[in-house]
Amino acid sequence: TINDQLEETGLNGSATLGRCIELEPAFRYADLPPPPRVMMEPPPVKKMRLMSNPLSWTPEQVSEFLANHKDQEISQLAQAFKQEQIDGPAFMLLNLPTILDQWTIKFTTAYSLCRLIESVKLSFYLHFANHG
């Protein structure tokens, strides 16, 4: 019977002490091709100097910050951010998956927005994080 065969091989769920089946790995990391050069390092974060701490920004200040951006596709998002009441702390928590999930915008615009957010974060850490 099947149960007898399973018992003989130790596959019936009643564990036999000291016996286990060792499986070969499906692949080895060393056998994978190297990632493309573009994925080796993250893109550089542009440094900027903010006039105020982004953690204290109101939705109106976030909207104004975006409206004044040189990239027209980013500046056009200002009104949407104001309508959604995105303040400074919420702005700094945004990431690419969230942006793509919550707004219907082009990937390139979302990517540019994320890079801008990373620049704001860097400025925050350099100029405001240690100063209270």
Give me the pLDDT at residue 20, please: 74
Nearest alpha carbon to residue 46 among 96, 118, 111, 99:
118
Give pLDDT tens digits for 32-66.
887 666 556 667 789 999 999 999 999 999 999 99
Q: How crowded is residue 45: how many other Cβ atoms within 10 Å of its Cβ?
A: 15
Arithmetic mean of pLDDT over the chain = 85
Mean pLDDT score, 82-94: 97
Is this structure's pTM higher than 0.85?
Answer: no
Please check whether residue 78 is in contact with residue 64, taking contact to mean a CB–CB distance below 8 angstroms. Answer: yes
Q: How far apart are CA 127 and CA 89, in angstroms?
A: 16
Say how many residues make up the chain: 132
DSSP assignment letter at 128: T
Share of the chain above pLDDT 90, in %: 61
26, amino acid identity: A
